[in-house]
Structure 1
Amino acid sequence: MSRIAHRLSELGITLPVLRGPSGTYLPFRQADGLIILSGQVPRIDGRDAHQGVVGLDLTVEQGKEAARAAALNLVSQLANALDGDLDRVVCCLQLRGFVRATPDFADHPAVIDGASELLLEIFGERGRHARTALGAGSLPRGFSVEIDAIFQVSNRET
């Protein structure tokens, strides 16, 4: 069992099966040791979840749960890009989080911490990243959170 597969097992995490893109784009793109992942939303068991506006329909804690669910989908997409070999991850370079929130909402970083914390749990220091947390007036299909990321990967297990 690979190191990251073992870690996922220890955490009791099963990576979700993702459906294809909902538009005319690629789920990921690879170039020169980088994998750029398209945005992921908090879809759980193939169903839309955590829809609404943070600060109105959802609390910060519920937004954080949404970000964690989106990050789990992000890791699943990364596994797809790497043919399941998550041990090839050198590091997460950047995570961007978008929070559908009320105009006066100010806790975007606390919401996106849900995604950041999951990456650290799974990858340890390799999951530490630069980050942007932004507010959005709307997100696709009414989701409360969307995240994307850039990972550096090796050609073989490190």
Structure 2
Amino acid sequence: MSFYDKLKALNIELPPTAAPVAAYVMYARTGNTVFLSGHIAKKDGKPLVGQLGKNMTTEEGKLAARSVGIDLIATLQDACGGDLNRVKRIVKVMSLVNSTPDYIEHHLVTNGVSELLGEVFGEQGKHARSAFGVAQIPLGACVEIELIAEIA
């Protein structure tokens, strides 16, 4: 089953790739490794603003991280020249969670993207990861996630 078949089975339609909003590119490739810039959670095209432990629940954060994962997959498709089937492995995910100092469930929020990558890419979606709590994320977004992948 191709990755596109898996996306279709999950009822996921990839959005257009976001454009950078500052002095960076959405991805950089060196050899067979692609580094995707951080993508923030959005709702209706605007930053999904919130802080875990203050005005967002862990489940809301997990759904936000999953939605970021969909945007990351769209950017990864661009980095693969339009063909996700070139993905050999998701190598690493780094998740920044906008949270209060006493919030401790960053790893559960980050499961939103990790589980999605597993559903879409199977064994090739298993990755190393880091999840951090931070005082703030650009534009007040609740979650920002970046990704490293190996492609053919």
Partner of 1:17: 16
Q: Residues 130-153 of structure 1: CA distance to partner in whole angstroms, max 9, x if unpaired?
A: 000000000010100000010001
| Paired position in structure 1 for 2:127 | 129
How many Å separate the matches in 1 of 2:44 and 2:75?
Answer: 14
The code of the aligned residue for 2:129 comes to R
1:89 alignment counterpart = 87
3-state SS, counterpart of residue 152 of structure 1: strand
**Counterpart in the other structure of 1:105:** 103
The reply to whether residue 150 of structure 1 matches residue 148 of structure 2 is yes
Residue 83 of structure 1 and its aligned partner are, at CA, apart by 2.1
C-alpha deviation, 1:18, in angstroms: 2.8
Q: Tell me, which stretches of 5 or more residues in structure 2 are unaligned?
A: none
- Determine the structure 1 residue equivalent to 2:40: 41
Q: TM-score, normalised by structure 2?
A: 0.96
Corresponding residue for 1:118? 116
Instruction: Give the Cα–Cα distance (whole angstroms) in 1 for the partners of residues 44 and 13 of structure 2.
Output: 11
Cα gap change, 1:75 to 1:44, in 2 (>3 Å) = farther
AA matched with 1:31: T
Alignment of 1:52-67 (within 5 A): 52-67=50-65
The percent of aligned pairs where both chains have the same amino acid is: 37
Q: CA deviation at 1:45?
A: 4.4
Does the Cα contact within 8 Å between 2:52 and 2:98 map onto a contact in 1? yes
Cα distance in structure 1, aligned partners of 2:78 and 2:46:
19
Give unmatched runs, 5+ long, in structure 1.
Answer: none
Give the 3-state SS of the residue equivalent to 1:84 in structure 2.
coil
Report the CA distance between 1:59 and its aligned residue: 0.3
Instruction: Show structure 1 runs of 4+ deviating over 4 A.
Output: none
Whether contact under 8 Å (1:100, 1:144) holds in the other structure is yes
Contact kept in structure 2, 1:18 and 1:46, CA below 8 Å: no
Q: Distance in 1 between matches of 2:135 and 2:114?
A: 22
Bigger shift: 76-85 or 89-98?
Answer: 76-85
Matching residue of 1:5 = 4
* Equivalent pairs, count: 152
Equivalent-residue separation in structure 1 for 2:45 and 2:99 (angstroms): 24
